[in-house]
Amino acid sequence: MTRYTVLPIDAAAFEELRVADDAGRPCTPYVATRDDTGSPLRCCLRPIALGDRIALVSYAPLRRWAAATGERPGAYDEQGPVFIHADDCGGFVPGENYPFDRPGALRTVRRYDARGRIAGGRLLEIPTDATGGFDAAFDDAFSDPDVVLVHVRALEYGCFQFEVRRPTAEVDEAC
């Protein structure tokens, strides 16, 4: 069982992204082909299946976090490509594992402070015990009291995978 709460892209953001992405381009849905299968969807945090109606959109995770918190990420505001379902899919259902936890895959675990600035990071080669590997990476990230959120990204393309925020006191005591 995971010790940290995984956060997919917020449902309200999906409504906006299904109209226009964070680069201002209109959403252009299409039906997933064999070439798309296995790529991560950020709405439900599962792999694309053949025949899914999807869209590739530009997403700015730190910009959206900053808008919700009143911060300004400045130069750390970046956007990149993510796949989403073109229609409502019911969203993410938490499970016992972290999403996209294929052993051997390379991930960056990028830390951000309360001002939205990068506060470090690390490379994670997902071990056989993927849950333990992610838990250890998040433990390390949140051992810095200035870190408020972490973005997990695929190393190969730099694509945003999911977000984890600093646990609340209740969660810390339960772990």
Mean pLDDT of 65-70: 90
Kindly list the domain boundaries of the chain, sorted by start residue: 6-85, 106-174
pTM of the model: 0.89
Is pLDDT at 106 greater than 80 in this prediction?
yes
User: Which of 69-73, 124-128, 143-147 is predicted with the least confidence, judged by mean pLDDT?
Assistant: 69-73
In the sheet where 53-59 sits, what is the strand order?
30-31, 53-59, 80-85
Share above pLDDT 90 across residues of the chain, in percent, rounded to a whole number: 77
Look-up: residue for tokens 């999911």? 162
pLDDT at res. 103? 96
- Report DSSP letters for 8-30, one per residue: -S-HHHHHHHTTB-TTSPBP--E
Q: What is the pLDDT of residue 130?
A: 97
Lookup: tokens for 72: 């300004």
User: Helix, strand or coil for residue 54?
Assistant: strand
Position 145 pLDDT exceeds 50: yes
